[in-house]
A and B are shown apart, each in its own frame.
Chain A
Amino acid sequence: MADIYRVTRDVLSVDEIVAGVTDAAVGAVVTFVGVVRGTSEGRQVRYLEYEAYPEMAERTLAQIGKEIRAHWPDILHVTIVHRVGRLEIGETAVVIALAAAHRPGVFDALRFAIDRLKEIVPIWKKEVWIDGEEWRSER
Chain B
Amino acid sequence: MKVRVRFFAAPREQIGRGEMELEFPEGTTLSQLRAFLLEQYPFLRDVALQFAVNAVYAREDIPLHDGDEIACIPPVGGG
Instruction: Using CB atoms and an 8 Å cutoff, list the residues of chain A in contact with chain B.
Output: 34, 50-53, 55-57, 59, 82, 93-94, 114, 117-126, 135-139
Q: Which of B48, B52, B77 contacts A124 (CB 8 A)?
A: B77
How distant is the Cα of A130 from the Cα of B2 in the complex, in angstroms? 42
Asked if B8 and A119 sit within 8 Å, CB to CB, the answer is no
Interface residues on B, range: 10 to 19
Q: Which of A59, A118, A126, A135 contacts B78 (CB 8 A)?
A: A118
Asked if B55 and A56 sit within 8 Å, CB to CB, the answer is yes
Residues of A within 8 A of B57 (CB): 120
Residues of B within 8 A of A122 (CB): 8, 52, 71, 73, 76, 78
B13: nearest chain-A partner, CB-CB: A135
Within 8 A of A (CB), among B47-79: 48, 52, 55-57, 71, 73-79
